[in-house]
């Protein structure tokens, strides 16, 4: 099976199963490579607005343990699967310097840039925020999150654009044209930065029921020459590789024949 480069661990406090459980699952599926990309903690004392329950994120002083854990598993399972050390980093303009410094400090082999917090520190992706989405404005969430992805690309800090249009899981925007234009702008920035785009099958586990990003955006990405990787955004061991047949079919339909490997220079042929 195609490599899965978006796998969380219980260290982020909102995922189930040990890191080893995720590795075992990938091995059982016959993956030759896999990448852990747990959430980078919020840094410098910065937090999204609104009181969230404690205990849903890794603490900055636990990053060492995360790296040690993944590196240990990589050594132990070297004969079975190539385990790549990644991280999913929020793009937070306010803590960009701290983020750059921490990313520099650790031997991460790739960084997924994601947007879970939009302007005005609204953590729209957090389950407890569901009731406040309408107040904030759904279109505003779409537009701000896409513009943040454009800005993230322009920093040059991130290698992979994570779940590009995932705001859609909360509903389709009213002004589809404006949102499509913002997505195109973000994709052009992703291309200009030489980044890779993630097809994130986490969307298949939401009521919306399709991977991120939308097929039209995948076609645009293909026309822009942006390489792809697949990621399940696994928060449970069984999520590893989930929906990869569907994701591969969508990538094929968009014109792709291969996906990138983050474990080597080779491409992986899409089934
Ligand atoms: Zn998560
Ligand atoms: Fe994410
Ligand atoms: Fe994730
Ligand atoms: Zn995610």
45: left (phi over 0), alpha (psi -120 to 50) or beta: left
CATH number of the CATH domain containing 77: 3.20.20.140
| Mean pLDDT, the chain, whole residue set | 95
Per-residue pLDDT reduced to its tens digit, 227-247: 999 999 999 999 999 999 999
Find the 112 Cα to ligand 3 centroid distance in Å: 9
Alpha carbon distance 85, 78 (integer Å):
13
Question: What is the model's pLDDT at position 44?
Answer: 86
Question: What is the model's pLDDT at position 49?
Answer: 80
Find the 9 Cα to ligand 1 centroid distance in Å: 9
Find the 226 Cα to ligand 4 centroid distance in Å: 21
Q: Strand, helix or coil at 112?
A: strand
Q: Give yes or no for a contact between 196 and 161, defined as CB atoms under 8 angstroms apart.
A: yes
Per-residue pLDDT reduced to its tens digit, 245-257: 999 999 999 999 9
CB within 8 A of 243, min separation 6: which ones?
Answer: 201, 204, 205, 211, 232
Find the 223 Cα to ligand 1 centroid distance in Å: 30
Find the 181 Cα to ligand 1 centroid distance in Å: 27
Full residue range of the structural domain in which residue 163 is found = 4-269
Find the 8 Cα to ligand 4 centroid distance in Å: 9
Per-residue pLDDT reduced to its tens digit, 33-66: 999 999 999 998 888 887 666 677 899 999 999 9
Per-residue pLDDT reduced to its tens digit, 138-182: 999 999 999 999 999 999 999 999 999 999 999 999 999 999 999
Find the 6 Cα to ligand 3 centroid distance in Å: 6
Alpha carbon distance 200, 168 (integer Å):
13
Find the 88 Cα to ligand 1 centroid distance in Å: 9
Domain count, the chain: 1
Find the 7 Cα to ligand 1 centroid distance in Å: 9
């Amino acid at each position: 099976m195609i490599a899965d480069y978006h796998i969380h661990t219980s260290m982020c406090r909102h995922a189930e199963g040990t890191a080893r459980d995720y590795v075992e699952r990938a091995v059982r599926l016959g993956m030759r490579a896999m990448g852990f990309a747990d959430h980078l903690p919020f840094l410098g004392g910065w937090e999204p607005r609104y009181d969230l329950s404690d205990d849903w994120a890794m603490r900055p002083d636990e990053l060492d343990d995360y790296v040690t854990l993944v590196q240990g598993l990589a050594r132990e399972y070297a004969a079975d699967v190539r385990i790549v050390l990644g991280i999913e980093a929020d793009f937070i303009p306010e803590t960009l310097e701290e983020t750059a410094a921490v990313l520099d400090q650790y031997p991460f082999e790739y960084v997924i840039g994601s947007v879970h917090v939009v302007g005005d520190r609204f953590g729209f992706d957090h389950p407890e925020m569901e009731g406040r989405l309408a107040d904030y404005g759904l279109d505003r969430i779409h537009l701000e999150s896409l513009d943040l992805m454009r800005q993230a690309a322009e920093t040059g800090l991130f290698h992979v654009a994570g779940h590009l249009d995932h705001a859609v899981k909360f509903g389709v925007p009213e002004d589809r044209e404006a949102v499509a234009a913002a997505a195109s702008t973000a994709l052009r920035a992703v291309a200009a930065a030489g980044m890779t785009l993630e097809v994130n099958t986490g969307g298949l586990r939401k009521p919306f029921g399709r991977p991120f990003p939308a097929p039209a955006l995948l076609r645009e990405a293909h026309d822009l020459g942006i390489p792809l990787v697949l990621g399940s955004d696994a928060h449970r061991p069984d999520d590893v590789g989930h929906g990869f047949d569907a994701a591969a079919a969508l990538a094929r339909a968009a014109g792709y024949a291969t996906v990138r490997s983050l474990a080597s220079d080779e491409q992986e042929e899409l089934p």
